[in-house]
Amino acid sequence: MTWRDFPKVELHLHHEGAAPPAFIRGLAQEKGTDLSAVFTEDGGYAYRGFEHFLQVYEAACTVLKTPEDYHRLTLAVLEESASHGVVYSETFLSPDFCGGGDVGAWRDYLAAIESAAEEGERKFGITLRGIVTCIRHFGPEKSRAPAICAAETQGTFLRGFGMAGAEQVGRPKDYRWAFDCAREAGLHLTCHAGEWGGPDMVADTLTDLGVERIGHGVNAIRDLALVDRLAEDGVVLEVCPGSNVVLKATGDWPKHPIARLRERGVKVTVSTDDPPFFHTTMTREFEGLERAFGWGEEDFAELTHVALDAAFCDAETKDRIR
Ligand code: ADE
Ligand code: ZN
């Protein structure tokens, strides 16, 4: 059975990381930018390991220059996601790449993305909401401007704040100002942790930043007391198995911790992270889970239910989608 048409909810997707390579190559040509080092001979993204992946990601971002570029990107991403049965999606947006952290410029990018989301909903039947992310390896000082951008523009579309980037940089408490700012503005919170960091990083992220969801969180499996805390507190993990396998954050599919986390009562969801970088789609994620763990219709219905419950959109939007 193909899971392509099965209704899916995706909570963890990086907007630029979802850009089809052909789209980025087209923009590079239009703008006369040489991005040849970013692509493999067969047209995919070329990188070696996580650190280099982040560099290639940021190089690809250099041709996404204007709000109009983001409008086009958003429509391309929505068409692709909807073609894999995704009915609701949350995307990470970085003011650092959209106007350099300036609130006025950010408003223009956000307006372009939001108008594309409305168009995409009409055309493809998929609902999109945004989560602003700061970039961890840009350092704690640089986490403040994205939080202010998020606080100034939160509303029906912009629902949350989070942090992506190299988990090796700093400790969660170093970024507390940004998360406090976003929380006080009424935004929902999530943060990448336990993708590269250990269980202590997941625990400190929960304690020091007060997030509701954790991006990845898979290394929590190394501390069963923490796993039980996640289960008891109903913390939702945005797990991206295909990303973890390709980047070697975890072992191969049969060894991936998602099944053990779920069996121990943790609320897990499934997402693609940066799908073209990892040669994945939501359909492929479901196929991988079926192959590795024998998951089927009931399991996937539960995943979708958990994800929609944990979505950052308002209750009316959830009711409409359910
Ligand atoms: N930014 C884009 N993808 C990411 C990942 N998997 N981990 C951390 N930051 C990211
Ligand atoms: Zn991510």
Average pLDDT over residues 108-135: 98
Can you give the CATH number for the domain in which 120 is found? 3.20.20.140
Average pLDDT over residues 180-185: 98
- Catalytic, 195? Answer yes
- Determine if ligand 1 sits within 6 Å of the CB of residue 256: no
In the structure, what pLDDT confidence band is assigned to residue 11 with cuts at 50, 70 and 90?
A: very high
Residue 177 alpha carbon to ligand 2 centre in Å: 21
Q: Which percentage of the chain shows pLDDT scores above 70?
A: 100
- Determine if ligand 1 sits within 6 Å of the CB of residue 273: yes
Residue 53 lies in a domain: no
Average pLDDT over residues 151-170: 98
Residue nearest to atom 8 of ligand 1 (CA): 165
Question: What pLDDT is recorded for position 115?
Answer: 98
Counting from 1 in the atom list of ligand 1, the atom nearest the Cα of 136 is: 9
Taking only the tens place, the pLDDT of each residue in 265-277 is: 999 999 999 999 9
Average pLDDT, the chain: 98
Q: Is the pLDDT of residue 55 over 90?
A: yes
Residue 222 lies in a domain: yes
Residue 274 lies in a domain: yes
Phi/psi for 84 (5° steps) reads -110, 20
Torsion of CA 160, 170, 106, 123, to 10 degrees: -50
Report the C-alpha gap between 53 and 273 in whole angstroms.
Answer: 12
Q: Is the pLDDT of residue 1 over 80?
A: no
Question: What pLDDT is recorded for position 309?
Answer: 98
Set 195, 238, 263, 297: catalytic member: 195
Residue 226 lies in a domain: yes
Closest CA to 195 of 222, 176, 169, 167: 167
Residue 28 lies in a domain: no
Give burial (CB, 10 Å; 0-12/13-18/19+) of 32.
exposed
Tokens representing 113? Answer: 């993305």
Q: What residues form DSSP beta bridges with 90? A: 129
Q: Nearest bound ligand to CA 166?
A: 1
Residue 31 lies in a domain: no
Q: Is the pLDDT of residue 39 over 90?
A: yes
Is pTM beyond 0.95? Reply is yes
CB 169 within 8 A of CB 143: no
Residue 195 alpha carbon to ligand 1 centre in Å: 9
Q: Is the pLDDT of residue 38 over 80?
A: yes
Q: Nearest bound ligand to CA 169?
A: 1
Tokens representing 123? Answer: 């055309």
Q: Nearest bound ligand to CA 196?
A: 1
Average pLDDT over residues 285-294: 98
Q: Number of folded domains in the chain? A: 1
Residue 144 lies in a domain: yes
Report the C-alpha gap between 206 and 273 in whole angstroms.
Answer: 21
- Determine if ligand 1 sits within 6 Å of the CB of residue 96: no
CB 226 within 8 A of CB 199: yes
Closest CA to 191 of 148, 222, 155, 237: 237
ipTM of the complex: 0.98
- Determine if ligand 1 sits within 6 Å of the CB of residue 8: no
Question: What pLDDT is recorded for position 31?
Answer: 96
Residue 278 alpha carbon to ligand 2 centre in Å: 12
Spacing of C-alpha 107 from chain mean position: 21
Average pLDDT over residues 117-122: 98
In the structure, what pLDDT confidence band is assigned to residue 203 with cuts at 50, 70 and 90?
A: very high
Residue 271 alpha carbon to ligand 2 centre in Å: 9
Taking only the tens place, the pLDDT of each residue in 80-93 is: 999 999 999 999 99
Report the C-alpha gap between 33 and 103 in whole angstroms.
Answer: 27
Burial 96-118 (b: 16+ CB within 10 A, else e): bbbbebeeeebbbbbebbbebbe
Where in the sequence is the domain holding 108, given as residue range(s)? 8-19+64-312
- Determine if ligand 1 sits within 6 Å of the CB of residue 243: yes
- Determine if ligand 1 sits within 6 Å of the CB of residue 164: yes
Phi/psi for 211 (5° steps) reads -80, 155
Residue 37 lies in a domain: no
Residue 30 alpha carbon to ligand 2 centre in Å: 28
